[in-house]
Amino acid sequence: MLVLFAITQGKMMIPDKLNFARIGACLISFCLLSLSLSVEADTIRQYRLEKQTNGYRLALTTAPVPEISADQILVKVHAASLNRRDIYVIQGWYPGPPVTGKVPLSDGAGEVIAVGNNVTRFNVGDRVSGTFFTDWKGGKFNRSALASARGGAVDGMLSEMIVATENDLVNIPAHLSYEEAATLPCAGVTAWNGLFKAGNLQQDDYVLLEGTGGVSTFGLLFSAAAGAKPIITSSKDNKLEKARGMGAIGTANYRKNSEWGDEVREITGGRGVDHVLEVGGERTLPQAVKALADGGHIAIIGGLSGFGASLRTTDLLGRSASATGIYVGSREDHLAMNALIEKHKIRPLIDKVFSFDDAQAAYDYMKNGNFMGKIVIRMDQ
């Protein structure tokens, strides 16, 4: 008896009897399916930044599947996340060379699907995230790293596949999903750097976190896990209530109290905070200084309310305090942060996940500011 196998719509069929019309239809379906799979295997989708009169726009494009050299790694990206920096980039406000034609977003995570012959640190199947800088392995910051920031000077993560090297990937903590791991490279490393590397955070230290965006929520999670005492601000009481559930020992609504620096100091019993993750800039820095303890440290990170803030020398000299400019961190810093996350089984706070096709909606959602934690774009359909 003749048994004929036909494939249609990805499923295997065994016809009960010979039916040449049906066989012909199956063969046509098989050919069309094969052609479709071939096209998909040869190309990937990615967004690139297209120049506009004011800033840039997201343009969905296709590109050939990247080829890798002996020293390179091919990663299938499963998720990417947004930072405030990405809004500055698309609005044309970010300093540096034009980003026309670049793939946006610094943060993403995925799976290694191919490795070059010289690669020893990673294997096919490894779950990885990219580092913010592709050329800052460790040690002190140097200006050459600026030219290797993903999503700016070099292509970022809003692509179905990327090419990387051993020096700009790290393994993902085992308990995290791809979506969670995609939130770490910029906001997570920045918060870790400001608190632990630059600030030398200790148990029972008071920590001031401004707002409930990515850096601040990571700062809340990290400081609470380390036994410190985080205090957080917001204009929304419901966000402050959620922050208390995440470990905040005190909160201040800056919309209700413009002199919230005094309120924060009162929460500490008058001694002030030992650490500040200063992300607000022009409007928040004076209040942060007011809340600062003797010997305290301010990590200067961002300028959500503007970059025109000034820090007087007497603000620091009079209390033997210090301030450090923080621009994310190195691969070495990323690994140290991952160790903290693994030790305490920390899970990043994700506000909302968008599909790859709805990337523009993710940008719009971040612009409106009514979120808490991180915004993620999932590549898988």
What per-residue confidence (pLDDT) applies to 380? 84
pLDDT the model gives residue 305: 55
pLDDT the model gives residue 29 = 40
Condensed to tens digits (0 to 9), the pLDDT of residues 61-96 reads 999 999 999 999 999 999 999 999 999 999 998 888
Q: What is the pLDDT of residue 143?
A: 87
Q: What is the pLDDT of residues 267-293, one digit of tens each?
A: 999 999 999 999 977 778 999 999 999
pLDDT at 288: 95
> Which residue matches tokens 């196998």?
5
C-alpha distances in angstroms, 260 versus 208, 254, 300, 319?
A: 11, 6, 19, 20
Beta bridge partners of 299: 277, 324
CA distance 13 to 19: 13
d(CA 342, CA 352): 23
**pLDDT tens by residue, the chain, 381 residues:** 333 333 333 333 333 444 444 434 444 343 433 433 333 469 999 999 999 999 999 999 999 999 999 999 999 999 999 999 999 999 998 888 899 999 999 999 999 999 999 999 999 999 999 999 999 999 999 888 889 999 998 999 999 999 999 999 999 999 999 999 999 999 999 999 999 999 999 999 999 999 999 999 999 999 999 999 999 999 999 999 999 999 999 999 999 999 999 999 999 999 999 999 999 777 789 999 999 999 999 999 986 656 666 778 888 998 999 999 999 999 999 999 999 999 999 999 999 999 999 999 999 999 998 999 999 999 986
| Alpha carbon separation from 133 to 26, 150, 182, 285 (Å, rounded) | 50, 6, 15, 27
pTM for this model (two decimals): 0.88
Question: Beta strands 169-171 and 127-130: pairing type?
Answer: antiparallel
- Angstrom distance (rounded) from CA 356 to CA 92: 23
Tokens of 201: 């955070």
Q: Which residues contact 343 (CB under 8 A, 6 or more apart)?
A: 225
By C-alpha distance, which of 358, 375, 363, 356 is closest to 160? 356
| Tokens standing for residue 69 | 């050299």
The confidence score (pLDDT) of residue 381 equals 62
